[in-house]
């Protein structure tokens, strides 16, 4: 089996897999049929060992930070691109193996061999998709569609391989070509023509699919914008509880109340899980006297709890953008427990989600904190699809990894089982670490005060539900200076801080630290996000020359 045959086979496999991806993407956007690159990627992330998955997460985040791009804005896109490239690579490797075997055994491929190769390539991938796909299309129709695609791939691969192995007659040339010239010419011409054809199909399928995806995204964005017309931008508006606080954010500080379109997103799969709210019912079963089957309307019939909440991701580095604040509305789990009447042996809630996620919550924790809720609305509107519609849980003082979205079932049990990320070597408790971040050194918004020129410096500090008692800033390793604190939206949100620094031209390094509500200082020693959340001092260097 020569390297040349492997190379030709890999090229042929990649050329034919590209339009396969394009057609699957178009069918996904048009008819909600499975998109196998995402299904395969999702499956792999579930079966690989936890340390491998967390290493991949760390590598992706570190790469983005090194490139200076926003993790919150680009992580999911990078994941999706990786899924497509992975599938293309599998197609290339499969083609290399098939072509090398055919060439080594001197088999002239035909359409029957193609059907066999298509089945060998497609069967395991279709089986994986059947086990994990979120497509709402009838399973038989999904099977027929995918089978047709892979069988067509196999036949085209076989016929193309035959064309490459058994050369056509040469074109007329000025001098009689040698056999080697004929071989190279015919292969080159054929591959160019094949590449042009497959590129056309790929671009057409992916392009039309992208247009459909953009149209749907625009529709959802417009619906969200319409529902958020009342929401204030920037600093808190008159409807917020701290509207009259005299401390104003430094120019360039992130919005105190995160617009929903900007709220960070982290979900298990390459695409958000879609659940039909009209037919969704939440079963709460197990060790209870009164099992419940609750619709969204049933949950809304309970007394509603509104809570301004800052949520953060455990995988965020120091200075992370994976943190946001909005208004959560839901039902206290204490109210549900009163109706469920758990048995004396009951100790835990085992929560499962539509995306395959699961987590365990201690009943003692719920009984001790009435704020723990099943949330069905953000910012006064139903949960967005990509943030957990129709239901998610909120637990104060915990990172997002402990808080399932797209909840589909709850079982009351006497047995503790590790949650999805705990099984993958993340922290069992996942208690939020105190953190403080510099958002801005507002060199373009200098202040004049008492004859002094001041540079507004600002950002956020957060310690879960434990509050923030102070924030301090230092410049170029000097003494720590107290910052002004704006009253938070609630005891469970971040605090906006501001420090007006006396102007001094040149390049300067700014650092920030905070203390929790009871005075416990932020951990200044640097540590990685895995397994319990990152710690350390955030710093930025700015040139404030005029």
Q: Is the model more confident about 183 or about 484?
A: 484
Task: Say whether both 403 and 472 belong to one domain.
Answer: no
Q: Which of 18-32, 163-177, 343-357 has the lowest mean pLDDT?
A: 163-177
What residues contact residue 308 under an 8 Å CB cut-off, 6+ apart? 241, 257, 325, 326, 327, 328, 488, 489, 490, 492, 493
Q: In this structure, what token pair is assigned to residue 220?
A: 């959802």
Total of domains in the chain: 3
Give 49-61 pLDDT, tens digit per residue. Answer: 877 877 777 777 7
Task: Say whether both 28 and 137 belong to one domain.
Answer: yes
Task: Say whether both 395 and 449 belong to one domain.
Answer: no
Question: Which residues share a beta bridge with 285?
Answer: 411
Residue 307: CATH number of its domain: 3.90.420.10
- Average pLDDT, integer, range 270-283: 92
> Would you state the pLDDT for residue 546?
62
DSSP state of 290: S
Task: Say whether both 407 and 451 belong to one domain.
Answer: no
Task: Say whether both 317 and 183 belong to one domain.
Answer: no
Residue 171 included in any domain? yes
**Per-residue pLDDT at 146 exceeds 60:** yes
**Per-residue pLDDT at 181 exceeds 60:** no
Residue 428 included in any domain? no
Q: How far apart are the first and last CA of the chain?
A: 67
Comparing C-alpha atoms, which of 35, 36, 39 is closest to residue 47?
A: 39
Query: Degrees (nearest 5) of the Cα angle 354, 359, 361?
Result: 130
Place of tokens 């749907």: 216
Residue 477: CATH number of its domain: 2.60.40.650
State which of 12-26, 57-71, 170-184 shows the largest mean pLDDT. Answer: 12-26
> Would you state the pLDDT for residue 221?
59
Choose one of 381, 413, 445: the last residue of a domain: 413
- Average pLDDT, integer, range 202-216: 80
- DSSP letters spanning 449-508: ETTEEEEEEEEEEEBTBT-EEEEEEEETT---EEPEEPPPSSTTS-EEEEEEEEP--SEE
**Per-residue pLDDT at 230 exceeds 80:** no
Q: Which domain holds residue 385?
A: 260-413
Say how far apart CA 536 and CA 531 lie, in whole Å. 15
Give 343-357 pLDDT, tens digit per residue. Answer: 999 999 999 999 999
Comparing C-alpha atoms, which of 236, 472, 272 is closest to residue 354?
A: 272
**Per-residue pLDDT at 236 exceeds 50:** no
Q: In this structure, what token pair is assigned to residue 372?
A: 């723990």
Query: Degrees (nearest 5) of the Cα angle 362, 368, 371?
Result: 95
Say how far apart CA 31 and CA 269 lie, in whole Å. 20
Contact 447, 501 (CB under 8 A): no
**H or E element, residue 542:** strand 538-543
CA distances from 168 to 77, 165, 171, 181, 185 (A): 44, 9, 9, 12, 10
Beta 323-332 vs 373-378: how paired, if at all?
antiparallel
Task: Say whether both 34 and 179 belong to one domain.
Answer: yes
Task: Say whether both 406 and 531 belong to one domain.
Answer: no
Residue 241 included in any domain? no
Q: In this structure, what token pair is assigned to residue 452?
A: 């002094």
**Per-residue pLDDT at 100 exceeds 70:** yes
Return the HEC string of 331-372: EEHHHHHHHHCECCCCCEEEEEECCCCEEEEEHHHHHHCCCC
Q: In this structure, what token pair is assigned to residue 160?
A: 């193309």
Say how far apart CA 178 and CA 402 lie, in whole Å. 69
Task: Say whether both 393 and 476 belong to one domain.
Answer: no
- Over the range 235-274, which residues count as b (16 or more CB within 10 Å of their CB) and which as e? bbeeebebeeeebbbbebbbbbbbbbeebbbbbbbbbbbb
Q: Which of 92-101, 172-181, 219-228 has the lowest mean pLDDT?
A: 172-181
Say how far apart CA 243 and CA 237 lie, in whole Å. 6
Comparing C-alpha atoms, which of 309, 245, 250, 310 is closest to residue 487?
A: 245
Residue 255 included in any domain? no
Say how far apart CA 375 and CA 359 lie, in whole Å. 16
Q: Is the model more confident about 503 or about 75?
A: 503
> Would you state the pLDDT for residue 166?
64
Residue 319 included in any domain? yes
Residue 42 included in any domain? yes
Residue 60 included in any domain? yes
Choose one of 358, 383, 413: the last residue of a domain: 413
The confidence band for 531, taking pLDDT boundaries of 50, 70 and 90, is very high
Task: Say whether both 303 and 394 belong to one domain.
Answer: yes
Task: Say whether both 176 and 320 belong to one domain.
Answer: no
Residue 238 included in any domain? no
Residue 445 CA from chain centroid, whole number: 35
Rounded to whole angstroms, the maximal C-alpha distance in the chain is 95
Contacts of 387-391 with C-beta under 8 Å, sequence gap 24+, read 387/260, 387/263, 387/265, 387/272, 389/275, 389/277, 390/275, 390/277, 390/280, 390/296, 391/280, 391/282, 391/296, 391/299
Task: Say whether both 99 and 207 belong to one domain.
Answer: yes
Choose one of 155, 181, 215: the last residue of a domain: 215
Question: Which residues share a beta bridge with 475?
Answer: 510
Task: Say whether both 403 and 497 belong to one domain.
Answer: no
């Amino acid at each position: 089996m020569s390297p040349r045959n492997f190379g030709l086979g890999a090229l042929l496999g990649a050329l034919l897999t590209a339009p396969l991806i394009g057609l699957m993407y178009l069918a996904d956007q048009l008819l909600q049929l499975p998109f196998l690159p995402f299904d395969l990627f999702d499956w792999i992330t579930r079966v690989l060992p936890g340390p491998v998955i967390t290493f991949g997460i760390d590598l992706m985040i570190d790469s983005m930070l090194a490139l200076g791009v926003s993790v919150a804005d680009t992580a999911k896109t990078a994941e999706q691109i990786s899924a497509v490239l992975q599938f293309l690579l599998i197609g290339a490797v499969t083609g290399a193996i098939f072509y090398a075997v055919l060439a080594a055994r001197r088999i002239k491929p035909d359409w029957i061999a193609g059907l066999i190769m298509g089945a060998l390539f497609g069967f395991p991938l279709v089986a994986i998709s059947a086990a994990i796909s979120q497509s709402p299309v009838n399973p038989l129709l999904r099977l027929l569609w995918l089978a047709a695609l892979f069988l067509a791939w196999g036949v085209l691969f076989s016929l193309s391989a035959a064309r490459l192995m058994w050369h056509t007659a040469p074109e007329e040339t000025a001098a009689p070509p040698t056999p080697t010239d004929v071989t190279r010419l015919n292969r080159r011409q054929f591959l160019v023509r094949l590449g042009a054809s497959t590129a056309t199909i790929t671009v057409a399928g992916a392009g039309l699919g992208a247009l459909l995806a953009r149209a749907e995204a625009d529709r959802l964005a417009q619906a969200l914008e319409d529902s958020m017309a009342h929401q204030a931008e920037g600093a808190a508006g008159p409807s917020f509880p701290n509207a009259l606080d005299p401390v104003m954010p430094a120019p360039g500080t992130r919005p105190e109340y995160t617009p929903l379109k900007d709220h960070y997103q982290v979900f298990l799969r390459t695409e958000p899980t879609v659940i039909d709210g009209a037919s969704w019912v939440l079963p709460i079963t197990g060790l209870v006297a009164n099992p419940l089957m609750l619709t969204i309307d049933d949950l809304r019939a309970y007394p509603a709890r509104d809570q301004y909440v800052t949520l953060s991701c455990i995988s965020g580095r120091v200075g992370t953008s994976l943190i946001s604040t909005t208004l959560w509305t839901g039902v206290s789990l204490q109210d549900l427990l009163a109706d469920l009447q758990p048995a004396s042996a009951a100790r835990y809630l085992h929560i499962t989600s539509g995306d395959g996620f699961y987590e365990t919550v201690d009943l003692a924790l719920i009984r001790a904190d009435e704020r723990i809720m099943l949330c069905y609305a953000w910012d006064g509107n139903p949960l967005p699809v990509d943030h957990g519609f129709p239901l998610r849980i909120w637990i104060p003082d915990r990172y997002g990894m402990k808080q399932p979205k797209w909840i589909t079932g709850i079982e009351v049990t006497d047995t503790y089982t590790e949650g999805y990320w705990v099984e993958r070597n993340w922290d069992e408790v996942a208690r939020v670490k105190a953190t403080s971040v510099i958002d801005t050194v507002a060199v373009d918004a200098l202040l004049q005060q008492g004859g002094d020129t001041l540079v507004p410096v600002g950002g956020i500090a957060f310690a879960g539900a434990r509050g923030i008692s102070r924030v301090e800033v230092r410049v170029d390793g000097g003494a720590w200076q107290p910052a002004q604190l704006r009253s938070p939206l609630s005891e469970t949100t971040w605090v906006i801080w501001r420090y007006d620094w006396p102007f001094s031209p040149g390049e300067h390094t700014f650092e920030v630290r905070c203390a929790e509500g009871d005075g416990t200082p932020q951990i200044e020693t640097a540590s990685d996000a895995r397994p319990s959340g990152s710690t350390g001092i955030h710093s930025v260097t700015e040139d404030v020359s005029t």
